[in-house]
């Protein structure tokens, strides 16, 4: 039987979906939900977002008198034109430079009153930019590259452009890393991609995730699974970790239904007490139930301290997140209290019947207890990973890969040493991601002058069967001892 085809990625924006608006080529990034009353403020003008409905992702808009207006293909800058300008500029730059130009605010003959008068007369932003260029006494003396910079600076002020982008794992991570990096634990996009690769995330996988970075990891895993497999988000204590970032992904109802949340104490107690799921008789999937008291004294003692500390840290992290969202309004995440409901172009509900984070079914819990999870990803920057990784590894199947992210090196180094001594994993590797962005333009290709020098650290490895390894070593020792006795 052939597997079901992967869900089609929507190419056009629809009413109720989440979109990412890129204003002026990355100067401002904002998330919005396309509701009938949604608006965006660009400069001193408030524009409705209704013109975005039905437009394909990647469309470019300009700010006109009536709001956002789609840019025609002829208005968009062409790469061939830029390359031609660069080729011409190489010849013209040989005879002129900017050494004689003095910035004394006297080169522009057009005053601010004249610009306001042009706006009242209905002049567009491009017309104002052309008027500024025509009334500049030094524009013709500048090099071609300086002229492009001048024109781009004036266009951003008087003729801003808005790019409609589809929220994806990369765009969401880049936006939060630029505007509010503490919300996602200072995780860069290359670090996130390495986490998914080292954990071998693929279709039909059952992934165990410890996500304390707002739901970025859970959303990235669910997007890569494409409606197959399951994402089990576990947490310490009784308060689930926040996964609000999932709302930005526009996941389908099938993808959302495969995101479940289970406390770590319930997973560990189910494993120690046998293969009986900790749900009451007659309960259905999605209901929240109280976890059963752990019967194993050793397991109960090991989890008690972790749960107590997790409750305190969860309260602190909740307070910090609330304060941060208030003090970081630049993300412009509108309609945050709305339900996780988005309707497609044909009126079908995208994710109206299910919300992420429900409890899994008893059958699924029993299956995970017998077979284990296929991979593990841990992203808990504010916690000591060494304290609860020992409880997470037994939940994996043998030969399952795992990847652990932390903002600092020391917690991962301690965890790596503990795993090496306990012989619970092989292929342990401690990595530091490194990323440098390049500017790629005609005759101006070079690395960026400023770059982010820190992207966190990743500890990866493969879980092995410790008991079988020890038995094999003891067997080999006995064989060698018997051989020596026979030789004597």
Distance of CA 194 to the CA centre of its chain: 13
Beta bridge partners of 18: 33
* The residue to which tokens 């003090």 are assigned: 327
Residue 259's pLDDT is what? 94
- Region for 25 from its dihedrals, namely left if φ exceeds 0, alpha if ψ lies in -120 to 50, beta otherwise: left
CA–CA distance, 53 with 241 (Å, rounded to integer):
33
Among left, alpha and beta (phi > 0; psi -120 to 50; other), residue 148 is: alpha
Q: Give DSSP secondary structure letters for 262-281.
A: EEHHHHHHHHHH-S--S--T
The single-letter DSSP state of residue 358 is: B
pLDDT at 5: 56
The pLDDT confidence band at residue 183, using thresholds 50, 70 and 90, is: very high
Indicate the burial class of 379 (C-beta count within 10 angstroms; 0-12, 13-18, 19 or more): buried
- Cβ-based neighbours of 168, under 8 Å, separated by 6 or more: 223, 249
CA distance 357 to 251: 13
Instruction: State the Cα–Cα distance between residues 362 and 278, nearest whole angstrom.
Output: 8
Q: What is each CA distance from 67 to 40, 105, 160, 418, in whole angstroms?
A: 10, 32, 12, 60
> Packing angle between helix 297-327 and helix 385-392, nearest 10 degrees?
120
- CA–CA distances in Å: residue 28 to residues 156, 158, 162: 11, 15, 10
Q: What is the DSSP letter of 75?
A: T
Region of poorest pLDDT, from 223-227, 252-256, 272-276: 272-276
Winning range, highest mean pLDDT, from 111-115, 358-362, 401-405: 401-405
| DSSP-assigned letters across all residues of 390-425 | HHHGGGBPTT-EEEEEESSHHHHHHHHHHHHHHT-E
Q: Say if residues 418 and 363 touch (Cβ distance below 8 Å).
A: no
Output the CA angle 156-161-164, nearest 5 degrees: 145
Determine the pLDDT at residue 375.
Answer: 96
CA–CA separation, 134 and 5 (whole Å): 57
Alpha carbon distance 121, 105 (integer Å): 26
Model confidence pLDDT, tens digit, residues 365-385: 999 999 999 999 999 988 888
Q: Answer whether 256's CB lies under 8 Å from 39's CB.
A: no
Q: Where are the alpha helices (DSSP H) in 71-226?
A: 79-92, 112-120, 125-134, 144-158, 169-179, 189-198, 216-225
Taken in order of first residue, the domains within the chain and their CATH numbers are 1-77+106-166 (3.10.330.20), 169-271+353-470 (3.40.50.150)
Q: Of residues 201 and 281, which shows the higher confidence score?
A: 201
- State percent of the chain over pLDDT 90: 41
pLDDT at 119 over 90: no
pLDDT tens by residue, 455-470:
899 999 999 987 554 5
Contact between 165 and 19 (Cβ < 8 Å): yes
* pLDDT given at position 95: 67
Cβ neighbours for 416, distance < 8 A, ≥ 6 positions apart: 428, 430, 459
Q: Where is pLDDT greater, at 265 or 194?
A: 194
> What is residue 303's predicted lDDT score, i.e. its pLDDT?
38
Task: Indicate if the pLDDT at residue 319 is higher than 80.
Answer: no
Query: What span, in angstroms and rounded, lies between the C-alpha atoms of 429 and 458?
Result: 8
CA-CA distance, 156 to 147, in Å (whole number)? 14
Q: Looking at residue 274, what is its pLDDT? A: 59
Number of neighbouring beta carbons within 10 Å of residue 30:
21
DSSP state of 373: B
Q: How far apart are CA 320 and CA 119, in angstroms?
A: 44
Average pLDDT over residues 288-315: 40
- Is 234 strand, coil or helix? strand
What pLDDT shows up at residue 8? 64
Helices (H), 6-105: 79-92
d(CA 286, CA 453): 43
The tokens for 319 are: 């307070």
Whole-angstrom Cα distance, residue 294 to residue 273? 8
What mean pLDDT is predicted for residues 240-259? Answer: 90
Tell me how long the chain is. Answer: 488
Rounded CA-CA distance 18/21 in Å is 10
Q: What contacts 417, CB < 8 A, 6 or more positions away?
A: none
């Amino acid at each position: 039987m052939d597997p079901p085809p992967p869900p089609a990625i929507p190419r056009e924006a629809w009413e109720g979906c989440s979109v990412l608006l890129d204003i002026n080529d990355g100067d401002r990034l904002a998330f919005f939900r396309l509701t009938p009353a949604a608006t965006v403020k660009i400069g001193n003008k408030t524009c409705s977002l209704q013109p975005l409905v039905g437009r394909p992702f990647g469309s470019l808009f300009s700010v006109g008198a009536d709001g956002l207006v789609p840019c025609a293909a002829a208005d968009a800058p062409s790469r061939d034109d830029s390359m031609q300008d660069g080729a011409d500029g190489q010849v013209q730059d040989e005879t002129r430079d900017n050494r004689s130009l003095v910035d004394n605010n006297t080169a522009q003959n057009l005053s601010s009153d004249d610009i306001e008068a042009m706006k009242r007369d209905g002049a567009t932003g491009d017309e104002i930019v052309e008027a500024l260029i025509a009334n500049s006494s030094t524009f013709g003396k500048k090099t071609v590259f300086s002229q492009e910079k001048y024109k781009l600076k004036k266009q951003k002020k008087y003729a801003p452009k808005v790019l409609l982008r589809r929220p994806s794992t990369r765009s969401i991570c880049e936006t939060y890393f630029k505007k509010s990096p503490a919300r996602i634990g200072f995780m860069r996009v290359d670090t996130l991609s390495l986490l998914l690769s080292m954990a071998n995330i693929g279709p039909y996988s059952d992934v165990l995730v410890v996500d304390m970075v707002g739901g970025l990891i859970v959303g990235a895993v669910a997007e890569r699974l494409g409606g197959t497999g399951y994402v089990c988000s576990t947490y310490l204590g009784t308060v689930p970790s926040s996964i609000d970032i999932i709302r930005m992904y526009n996941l389908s109802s099938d993808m959302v239904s495969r995101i479940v949340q289970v406390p770590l104490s319930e997973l560990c107690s189910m494993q120690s007490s046998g293969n009986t799921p900790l749900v009451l008789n007659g309960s259905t999937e999605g209901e929240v139930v109280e976890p059963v008291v752990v019967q194993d004294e050793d397991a109960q003692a090991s989890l008690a301290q972790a749960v107590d500390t997790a409750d305190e840290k969860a309260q602190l992290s909740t307070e910090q997140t609330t304060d941060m969202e208030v003090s970081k309004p630049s993300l412009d995440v509108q309609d945050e209290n709305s339900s996780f409901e988005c309707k497609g172009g044909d009126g079908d509900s995208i994710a109206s019947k299910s919300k992420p984070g429900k409890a899994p079914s008893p059958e699924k819990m029993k299956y995970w207890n017998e077979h284990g999870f296929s991979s593990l990803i841990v992203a808990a920057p504010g916690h000591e990973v060494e304290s609860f990784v020992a409880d997470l590894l037994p939940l994996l199947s043998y030969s399952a890969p795992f990847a652990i992210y932390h903002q600092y090196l020391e917690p991962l180094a301690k965890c790596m040493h503990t795993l090496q001594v306990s012989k619970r994993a092989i292929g342990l590797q401690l990595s530091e991601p490194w990323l440098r962005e390049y500017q790629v333009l005609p005759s101006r290709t070079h690395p960026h002058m400023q770059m982010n020098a820190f992207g966190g650290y990743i500890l990866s490895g493969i879980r092995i069967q410790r008991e079988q390894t020890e038995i094999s070593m003891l067997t080999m020792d006995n064989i060698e001892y018997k051989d020596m006795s026979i030789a004597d």
